[in-house]
Structure 1
Amino acid sequence: MPSSDSYFASIVPGLAGPDAFELRSPKDGVYNCIAFAAGDTTRWWWPEHRSGYYWPPNAPMVQTIPAFVQAFESVDYVTCDSEHRDAGYEKIAIFAIGDLPRHAARQEIGSTRWLSKMGSLEDIVHNQLEAVSGEKYDEPVQFMRRRIRTTEGG
């Protein structure tokens, strides 16, 4: 199998070249980019009635931008106007081809860099949100944010 570097560059040209991205985790097929953006690494989020899939009960079981917005609202995200960093918030971007959601990325807390889960493969960090744009995921079409969550005692 080709290396992750060459494989990612072949499906998402913005990830080609030195320093285009860094691996952040080993391969893990338990969760996908939607779950990862929501902060859930325990299950695969997708609006289908399939074994092992999860979809928030308040969100319509359809693959549309409004349904994905409702899914992210279930974990306290609200829509916002841009991908630009807002102190005190974590942001996500929903990518779509037309009205068909294809990917979600999460902004790294305290940074302008972005985190993406690449299907059932690794999590990556990329400097530019648009690095994962292209034929496979198209463009970011919806931005959302939520207050940064803190842990007790930390």
Structure 2
Amino acid sequence: MRRPAAEDDLKRRFPRLASTRFAVTSDDTPAYNCLAWVLGDQASWISPTLFDEDLGLYPWPEGVPRENTVNAWILALESYGFTHCEDASLEPGRDKVAVYWNETTQEIHFALQLASGLWTSKVGRWEDINHELDGLTGDRYGKVIGFLSRPAATGNETSAKE
């Protein structure tokens, strides 16, 4: 079930959403995070450092350092076939990911570009949203520091959402 006033709460947490186009597209859930979302996985929380007493370490690509650094997170995306690309321009037939990084809090976020040119994100443990690229920049996720892309994944549900 969707949280009451989810849109207002997200605008409070991400003030730029109030002046950009965005829409909540799912109920809130802690089942997956932004990295899993851009990979089309709605059943995993993929993290290099989180640990669960019952499950052990959270899933993380083999051979990628288990550290919360931009480099480790980028290596994780590269292990799924992503490579660096120049900008946010729409490239039909490719999955493009924007990387947000907050230098102060060391928080990272990933958003996947939709066919419309908008972006889709899993916002923490909250909802999935469609948004403009700048909608999530600010105090929490910092700024966009780069882009990666790969050939569009067959059956990637996020690529077809709108």
So what's the TM-score if we normalise by structure 1? 0.88
- Residue equivalent to 1:22: 23
Which letter maps to 2:36? Answer: A
Which letter maps to 1:150? Answer: T
Q: Name the count of aligned residue pairs.
A: 148
- Residue equivalent to 1:40: 41
The CA deviation at 1:101 is 4.2
- Residue equivalent to 2:135: 131
Which letter maps to 2:154? Answer: T
Q: Any conservation in 1 of the 2:70–2:108 contact (CA below 8 Å)?
A: no
The CA deviation at 1:93 is 0.9
Which letter maps to 1:4? Answer: A
- Residue equivalent to 1:122: 127
Unaligned residue ranges in structure 2 (runs of 5+): 156-162
Unaligned residue ranges in structure 1 (runs of 5+): none
Q: Deviations over 1:91-119 (max 9, x none)?
A: 001110228342111101x2200001111
Q: Deviations over 1:115-149 (max 9, x none)?
A: 011111110001x2011100000101121001012
- The reply to whether residue 3 of structure 1 matches residue 5 of structure 2 is yes
The CA deviation at 1:69 is 1.0
Residue identity (%): 30
- State how far apart, in whole Å, the 1-side matches of 2:59 and 2:130 are: 25
So what's the TM-score if we normalise by structure 2? 0.84
Q: Any conservation in 1 of the 2:83–2:148 contact (CA below 8 Å)?
A: yes
User: What are the equivalent positions in structure 2 for 1:49-88 lying under 5 Å apart?
Assistant: 49-51=50-52, 53-88=58-93
- State how far apart, in whole Å, the 1-side matches of 2:50 and 2:127 are: 25
